[in-house]
Structure 1
Amino acid sequence: MSARFPGRKLSVVRLAVLSVVLGGVAVGGLTGFNRWEDAKSAESTGAFFAGYVDVTATPAYAFEVPSADAGNSVMLSFIVASTTDPCEPSWGTFYGLDEAEVALDLDRRVARLVQDGGEVTVSFGGLLNDELATACTDPEDLKDAYEAVVDRYSLSTVDLDIEGENLKDTTAGERRAQAMAALQAERADTDTPLNVWLTLPVAPTGLTAEGTAAVAQFLEAGVDLAGVNVMTMDYGGSRPEGTDMLTASQNAADATHRQVQVLYERAGKELGPQAAWRKIGLTPMIGQNDVKGEVFTLDDAKAFNTFAAERGVGRMSMWSLNRDGTCSENYADTTVVSDACSGVDQQGMLFAPLLGEGFTGRAATLAEVPVAEESPEALVEDDPETSPYPIWSDVGTYREDDRVVWQGNVYVAKYWTQGDLPNDPVLQAEETPWTLLGPVLPDERPVPAVTAPADLYPAWDPAAVYERGARILVDGRVYEAKWWSQSDSPEAAVQGSDASPWQKLDDAALVKIIEEKAGS
């Protein structure tokens, strides 16, 4: 998760005290959570909001005393592998679970929030350190490490924030997925089933190939994913020039929704469009992002909340609750990310209630809320008399920049293609030769085809020698020689090959030639 600040260690004095006090802390952690089970399982419906809290950052964020109604459920972060024992969970490598209880009063603060009706979830991973599965290579020890955290804080929901080097390690990904599948299986028929969210980086075009592979690993391992949460932030070069943060984030969400449906379909599990949106989580980084020039504003937060509600996403989060406030006057450069303020003038407002508006459900019960699927829309029957371009055909051949109409939309070919369905669902945009331009507009009519007169230029002759600039006719189109040629069929150029000595002239050039010939 974002710059994901390294946090702060205890002072030397507190560390000295800690070593003495730890002897009196029960290894099993907090045992009084059961007193508040009724509060945890309070009736709720619908999607939920849970802002991330950087547990180890200073000054400490008082998550146990929410500053806004939308902040009473939190995502505590990050549990990672200890630097001294790869299978030992720690908070940011700074505190073991027992150490965090003494140094941060963490168990007590968690209990207080739960007692007051809040919900606590925990996130594993983040950008800066080794997620447990990356460091711990023994499957049983890894499962025990995850289970220690789940049991310590009586969790119903966990979040796996997998990014950076952790995401690239596919072997660790398999261990992670198998451990979560085992934990879920053990709790499936109990009163405390485990919900698992997978949090991944995203571009405006959707999840990366590494991200889709991670989702596929979880599904293949049998994990019943509560959802895929995408970090709509820090786009860098993936954000097209001129695209603002809100639009980029909306595009990222729509693309991820499509990818999730494809991933579930490939795993043999059909998801309708509304069920797929319920499995989507969105997490913007409020205010100044790590990438200079990327700023997520209060207005963006309002609009993103509306977008998420309209789509029916299951979860809204933010990075982070620690940062939800205007920087003080002595914070000199707000273009540099702070772990304690947003970097924008919030004018007394908070991001959390804006992003969390209407997300009043709970992570623990999200799966229990029925999803009303929309009836599938009737397929559009394309009409050649009103379609601006030819209707796509599975036997047609299409070259780069050729446009077709399919099921009410216009597509443009990226390169030569035949038989590739324009709206075939794919994980990554580069997997399809088509780019969706948009719908056929109500008043559109066919674009007249430009065809050269039969006597404009000679037909191609395999025995003829053609010098650079020579022109021929193929099916009413004009082709021009790029260099000396003999017996080289223009068919390769028809299919869009750059190696062909022929190039097809576009409509504008063809119209100009016809007009010049007619005027001469």
Structure 2
Amino acid sequence: MSKRFPGRKLSLVRVLALGVAAGVVVVGAGYGWSGFEDSRAAAAGSSGFAGYVDVTATPTYAFEQPVSDEAANVVLSFIVADPDEECTPTWGASQSLGEAEINLDLDRRIARLVGDGGEVSVSFGGLANDELATVCTDAGKLTRAYAAVVDRYNLTSIDLDVEGDNLSDTAAGKRRAEAMAALQKKRHAAGEDLTVWLTLPVAQTGLTEDGLTAVQQMLDADVDLAGVNVMTMDFGGKRPTSMLDASIAAAEATHSQLQDLYQRNDLAVGSQTLWRQIGVTPMIGQNDVPGEIFTLDDAAGLNTFARAKGLGRVSLWSLNRDSTCAPNYPDVTRVSDGCSGVKQGDALFVDVLGQGITGQLDADVVPEEPTAKAEVVDDPATSPYPIWDEEVAYVKGDRIVWHGNVYAAKWWTNGDLPDDPSAAASDVAWDLIGPVLPGDKPVPTLTVPAGTYPEWSTDTVYQQDDLILFSGRVLIAKWWNQSDSPQAALEGATASPWRLLKNDEVQDILSELAAAEPTAAPRE
């Protein structure tokens, strides 16, 4: 069993097993659970809190640096189908898994959070793009697509966020359920576990018919379903008296619906135990529906309700948005990806909503006890970036490896220790990205051949877009200049008339040079 992502869960199958162990007789109509037996089975589970993170939203949210204990568990969102390759998983239809590793440092950041004791789950679907099952119609390829994500990030818990057109596609729902069952079966055979949560839209009156169908499809496929998480947001129609009242009404209606559904499927459990299979996820602050605003008081009330009922899961959309909007964002009724739209002061929704909910999403994985780590020896043969050297000057964005971790320079620096324990955060010249990962290999250093561009000269007059070499680096002139040393640009000065080219720009130059090389004449 993988122990990389510790967590907690209570699935239907395990609930019934607990009932049998306790001497509970579960009959077809769902009766036979005494209050004591129900309480005992419910106590065997736990409530978990994990905030959603929009992985591809800008600015990038640093989930690997939790703002509090409540923010240490995350649900990274959203894995969807590649627009051009239907059975290929991507992040937000914009980055492949490999591109996210390079462009977002995603693998390294996940490893950092998990190494610090946090839990990472991944969500498939969302509203904006095609969930894999809606466009990938080959059963084998679909299962492998889900497995590619689970295996890459060593997941023990995933979330299926099915809404919009993805939810009304019943054929896709059947494929999705069968793929989940196949994936769970394969992992169980290998002695590994996979918690599956189904996240669905909800009204104050409960799940929609499409939502109930999605749950039924999971049961028909024998998916070991951990629970149903309802999105208590964007209710529409008649405006709720409060978002707290609407959220509670939606959760209670869902509880009643699932109780009936599970009874019809001979999977009935006690009322308390059923709450362990229900989650709630509000959209903090301004919702997409005008006038619907989920406040900090609503968060405190929903936290009280969740703890009293023993909900199996509480989440929020999203950690990216958990802050007061800046003054330059004047229309807070317009939903932002980067702020809540309400005045929060020093308070955070994640702290209020997650208070006292200490569990995680997967109960079957036991966290490893911390052990003393052996001294790390940085090896140039396996380190993805050069080993830090106190004699070398680095510029903003340069990456190095030091004591088994990858760091990025925040500005021009020379001799500043990357892991200096005595430096104040504002004075540290390096950002910790995450650990060196198994299988890492050195990233090729991008340099252009000497003579490709002229070396900078104090006597030369430069025009906009002129390219020069300086200290082995390629820079471009932003405007007319003479005698302005490019050193300031290397040190991060934005007022410099020079700009240091990024790696992808250097790669383009190298590609153009390679294409321009004359091919050898064929031998006669």
Q: CA deviation at 1:187?
A: 1.8
- Give, as a single letter, the amino acid of the residue that structure 1 aligns with 2:48: F
In 1: Cα distance, 2:148 partner to 2:365 partner:
24
Distance 1:42 1:67 in 2: 22
User: 1:185 Cα shift?
Assistant: 1.2
Say whether the 8 Å CA contact 2:8–2:359 is kept in structure 1.
no
Does the Cα contact within 8 Å between 2:8 and 2:361 map onto a contact in 1?
no
In 2, distance between residues paired with 1:105 and 1:39?
18
Task: Give the C-alpha shift of residue 46 in structure 1.
Answer: 2.2
1:411-426 matched pairs, under 5 angstroms: none
Partner of 1:449: none
What are the ranges of 5 or more consecutive residues in structure 2 without an aligned counterpart?
Answer: 10-43, 367-524
Equivalent of 2:292, from 294, 300, 313? Answer: 294
- TM superposition shift of 1:348: 1.1
Aligned to 1:149, what secondary structure does the other structure show?
A: helix
1:152-197 per-residue CA deviation (whole Å, 9 max, x = no partner) reads: 0000011000000000100000000000011111122544211100
Shift of 1:84: 1.1
After the TM superposition, which residues 290-369 of structure 1 pair with which residues of structure 2 at under 5 Å, given as runs?
290-365=288-363
Contact 1:45 1:362 in 2 (8 A): no
Identity of aligned residues (%): 60
Q: Match for 2:327: what amino acid?
A: E
**What SS does the aligned partner of 2:159 have?**
strand
The whole-number CA distance in structure 1 between the counterparts of 2:84 and 2:189 is 36
Match of 2:162 in 1: 162
The structure-2 alpha-carbon separation of the partners of 1:227 and 1:367, relative to structure 1 and needing over 3 Å to count, comes to farther
Letter aligned with residue 78 of structure 2: F
Give the alignment of 1:260-275 within 5 angstroms: 260-275=258-273
Q: Is the 8 A contact 1:288 1:294 kept in 2?
A: yes
Partner-residue secondary structure (3-state), 2:140: helix
In the TM superposition, residue 40 of structure 1 has moved relative to its aligned partner by 3.0
Question: Shift in Å at residue 39 of structure 1?
Answer: 7.1
Cα distance change of structure 1 residues 42 and 314 upon mapping to structure 2, 3 Å threshold: closer
Alignment root-mean-square deviation, CA: 1.9
SS at match of 2:254: helix
Relative to 1, partners in 2 of residues 1:350 and 1:268: Cα closer, same or farther, differing over 3 Å? same
Contact 1:279-1:313 at 8 Å conserved across structures: yes
Correspondence 1:138-149 to 2 at 5 A:
138-149=138-149
Give 2:50's aligned residue.
50
- Find the residue that maps to 2:86 and give its secondary structure: coil
* Alpha carbons of structure 1 residues 174 and 101: separation in structure 2 relative to 1, 3 Å: same
> Partner of 1:247: helix, strand, or coil?
helix
| Large movers: runs of 4+ above 4 Å | 41-45
In the other structure, the counterpart of 1:111 is: 111
SS at match of 2:202: strand
Deviation (angstroms), 1:349: 0.5
Supply the AA of the counterpart residue of 1:308. Answer: A
Q: Which residue of 2 aligns with 1:40?
A: 6
SS at match of 1:236: coil
TM-score by length of 2: 0.62
State the match for 1:136 in structure 2.
Answer: 136
Distance (Å, rounded) in 2 between the aligned partners of 1:294 and 1:55: 25
Amino acid at match of 2:219: L
Q: How does 1:341-420 map to 2 (within 5 A)?
A: 341-365=339-363
The amino acid that maps onto 1:248 is A
Q: Any idea what SS the aligned residue of 2:215 has?
A: helix
Give the aligned residue type for 1:246.
L
Given that 1:159 and 1:197 are in contact with CA atoms closer than 8 Å, whether structure 2 keeps it comes out as yes
Larger Rg computed on CA atoms: 1
TM-score, length-normalised on structure 1? 0.62
- Per-residue CA distance 1:394-438 (angstroms, 9 max, x = gap): xxxxxxxxxxxxxxxxxxxxxxxxxxxxxxxxxxxxxxxxxxxxx
Query: 1:125 is matched with which residue?
Result: 125
Structure 1: which 5+ residue stretches go unaligned? Answer: 1-32, 369-520
- Aligned residue pairs total 332
User: AA paired with 2:313?
Assistant: R
Tell me the alpha carbon deviations over residues 94-151 of structure 1, each in whole angstroms, 9 at most, x when there is no partner. 0000010000000000000000000000000000100000010000000000000000
